[in-house]
């Protein structure tokens, strides 16, 4: 009966739709991009959408390895000068040719972007002392400070067509408006698609906030043509309805179905799913800088988190494998460092972070806390996958070795402002590396903050280690890859040893899709139509 009904349904759909509709791909998203403007907000959903319509000079593959994009090659003079050779014979979706002027215009725009949410690429282009185009296919960027990761960051800056605003000769001179004579475009100007002109494999068709985004194949694309004539992204924030939509045939691909629901499609031949480890690491950040910490109470009146033996004991008390298996339903990998092994600047063989409650108890009594102490773990309950359950589990593990731990879970709207005011003692955190290499975490979290907060901006636990600071500061300005990798490895090992940050696991992303498709999951958690192909 069920099969007959399914047959009737499928036959009916085919009769109604014909072959043209079969080439429309429908993807259900868990969070909707907030704008079409590629420079509005540096967020995963926004960047993923932008990558369909716009391209950067470089791009990252599904493992975040750097590939040529609109630049075919680039080189660095060992100092601050970078020369990019631009891809010839590329046109924008409106037919205008792509040249170096468009890149200069785009870089200027990120600095003249009045409506952007702070940090949306202006921190990258703000470091440019000069950008010149000796010829239309060559671009020379001179940075103020050495920036070894420039090519990585440029993969996220989508290149706009300079034809979208009136201009004279374009020069990289933001003080003089770069030669633009009209108004700089603002975020609202992109939403109706008039300015959404890029070189990407797809072009903009329509955007109705909350309802969906439609893009169609860019027939002028320089690379191999995409298999889908059009793609529709539908925001369905709730995981239950999202998966139901896949089961009912409304969507071809759904992003982030709940891992616990995967059993529903595991044995169903009509669907497949893929679990891809991401670079997002989940960890606890300990308040190690203060003599008194707000949520720790010990008999001796001190802050036990300042004792390295206590921190080591806390790490030993946690059974990471059990958390991955029971709470994450297998959709995670235990983390023994802050970026998955194998990525740039990571330790090649980090020692496994063992589960050893006996050793933990021993260390605690050595430190003078044989009777334990009291601590509250702070966590979000709506930001990371199963965040509050993870904190609950860790609290129980800590209690088993004598540390009386409870959990304070709250919505992110309350959690993040409180954390930035350093109101917690042990705080759950999550960090994905957009650059795909180790400095991203190390310079943001454990580094001692500098004046401008370009490093150490999230060091809420006031971890401060002069030796580590020396290593990370050297690493982020070292242009030589081998040397930089070595510095990052040393820096990472030092933070791990201190246990001021206790890594738990790397979140995996899950995509479920119809089994007549082939899907390649991405480590950066982008959901892209380019990852979907018809199955051969």
Judged by CB, which is closer to another protein: 404, or 412?
412
* b (16+ CB within 10 A) / e for 354-376: ebbbeebbbbbeebebeebbebb
Burial class, 81, CB count within 10 angstroms (exposed 0-12 / middle 13-18 / buried 19+): middle
274's tokens = 């893929």
Q: Does 524 help bind another protein (rule: CB under 8 A)?
A: no
Residue reference for tokens 């030993």:
316
* b (16+ CB within 10 A) / e for 217-251: bbeebeeeebebebbbbbbbeebeebbbbbeeeeb
**Interface mask toward another protein for 420-439; x: CB under 8 A:** x-------------------
Strands 332-334 and 374-380: unpaired
Q: Does 160 help bind another protein (rule: CB under 8 A)?
A: no
**Interface mask toward another protein for 365-404; x: CB under 8 A:** -----------------x----------------------
Least distance (Å) from another protein to the CB of residue 422?
12
Taking the alpha carbons at both ends of the chain, their separation in whole angstroms is: 30
How many contiguous H segments (helices) and E segments (strands) does the chain have? 16, 20
- State the Cα–Cα distance between residues 532 and 438, nearest whole angstrom: 29
Q: Does 220 help bind another protein (rule: CB under 8 A)?
A: no
| Member of 73, 182, 183, 416 binding another protein (CB under 8 A) | 416
Q: Does 258 help bind another protein (rule: CB under 8 A)?
A: no
Judged by CB, which is closer to another protein: 119, or 182?
119
With CB under 8 A, what is the number of residues at the site for another protein? 58
Other beta carbons within 10 angstroms of residue 169's beta carbon come to 8
Judged by CB, which is closer to another protein: 238, or 515?
238
Least distance (Å) from another protein to the CB of residue 76?
22
- State the Cα–Cα distance between residues 143 and 137, nearest whole angstrom: 20
Residues 39-58 that bind another protein (CB under 8 A): 40-42
Other beta carbons within 10 angstroms of residue 282's beta carbon come to 22
486's tokens = 């070595």
Residues 453-482 that bind another protein (CB under 8 A): 453-454, 457-458
Q: What SS3 class is residue 37?
A: coil
- State the Cα–Cα distance between residues 104 and 92, nearest whole angstrom: 16
Judged by CB, which is closer to another protein: 124, or 298?
124
| Member of 99, 130, 140, 186 binding another protein (CB under 8 A) | 186
Least distance (Å) from another protein to the CB of residue 220?
29
Judged by CB, which is closer to another protein: 244, or 474?
244
**Interface mask toward another protein for 114-153; x: CB under 8 A:** xxxxxx--xx--x---------------------------
**Interface mask toward another protein for 235-254; x: CB under 8 A:** xxxx-xxx-xx-xxxx----
Question: Which residue ranges make up the site for another protein (CB under 8 A)?
Answer: 5-6, 9, 34-35, 40-42, 114-119, 122-123, 126, 186-188, 191, 208-212, 234-238, 240-242, 244-245, 247-250, 382, 411-414, 416-420, 440, 444, 451-454, 457-458
């Amino acid at each position: 009966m069920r099969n007959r009904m399914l047959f009737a349904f499928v036959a009916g759909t085919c009769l109604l739709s014909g072959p043209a509709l079969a080439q429309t791909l429908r993807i259900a998203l868990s969070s909707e991009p907030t704008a079409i403007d590629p420079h509005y907000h540096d967020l995963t959903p926004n960047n993923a959408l932008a990558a369909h319509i716009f391209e950067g000079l470089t791009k990252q593959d599904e493992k975040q390895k750097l590939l040529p994009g609109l630049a075919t090659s680039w080189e660095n003079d060992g100092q601050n000068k970078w020369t990019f050779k631009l891809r010839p014979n590329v046109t924008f979706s409106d037919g205008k040719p792509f040249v170096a002027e468009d890149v200069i215009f785009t870089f200027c725009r990120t600095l003249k972007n009045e409506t952007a949410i702070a940090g949306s690429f202006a921190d990258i282009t703000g470091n440019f002392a000069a950008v010149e185009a000796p010829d239309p296919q060559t671009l020379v960027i001179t940075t103020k400070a050495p920036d070894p990761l420039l090519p990585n960051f440029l993969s996220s800056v989508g290149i706009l067509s300079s034809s979208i605003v009136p201009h004279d000769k374009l020069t990289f001179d933001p003080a003089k408006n770069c030669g633009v004579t009209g108004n700089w475009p603002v975020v609202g100007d992109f939403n109706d698609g008039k300015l959404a002109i890029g070189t990407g494999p797809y072009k903009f068709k329509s955007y109705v906030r909350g309802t969906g985004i439609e893009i169609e194949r860019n027939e002028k694309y320089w690379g191999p043509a995409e298999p889908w004539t059009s793609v529709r992204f539908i925001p369905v924030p709730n995981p239950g309805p999202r998966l139901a939509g896949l089961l009912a045939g409304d969507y071809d691909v759904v992003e982030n179905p709940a891992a616990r629901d995967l059993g529903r499609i595991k044995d169903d031949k009509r669907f497949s799913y893929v679990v891809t480890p991401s670079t997002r690491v989940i960890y606890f950040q300990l308040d190690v800088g203060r003599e008194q910490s707000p949520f720790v109470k010990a008999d001796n009146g001190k802050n036990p988190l300042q004792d390295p033996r206590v921190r080591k004991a806390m790490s030993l008390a946690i059974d990471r494998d059990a958390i991955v298996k029971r709470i994450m339903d297998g959709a995670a990998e235990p983390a023994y460092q802050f970026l998955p092994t194998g990525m740039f600047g990571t330790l090649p063989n980090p020692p496994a972070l063992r589960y050893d409650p006996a050793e933990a108890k021993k260390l605690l009594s050595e430190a003078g806390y044989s009777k334990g102490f009291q601590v509250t773990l702070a966590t979000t309950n709506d930001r990371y996958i199963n965040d509050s359950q993870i904190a609950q589990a860790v609290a129980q593990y800590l209690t088993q070795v004598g540390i009386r731990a409870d959990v304070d879970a709250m919505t992110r709207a309350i959690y993040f402002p409180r954390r930035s005011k350093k109101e917690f003692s042990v705080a759950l955190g999550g960090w994905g590396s957009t650059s795909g290499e180790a400095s991203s975490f190390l310079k943001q979290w454990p580094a001692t903050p500098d004046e401008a907060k370009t490093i150490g901006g999230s060091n809420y636990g006031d971890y401060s280690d002069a030796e580590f600071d020396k290593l990370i500061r050297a690493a982020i300005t070292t242009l030589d890859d081998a040397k930089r990798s070595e510095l990052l490895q040393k820096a990472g090992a030092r933070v791990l040893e201190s246990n001021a940050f206790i890594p738990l696991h790397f979140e995996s992303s899950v995509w479920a899709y119809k089994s007549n498709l082939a899907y390649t999951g991405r480590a950066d958690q982008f959901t892209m139509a380019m990852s979907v192909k018809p199955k051969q």
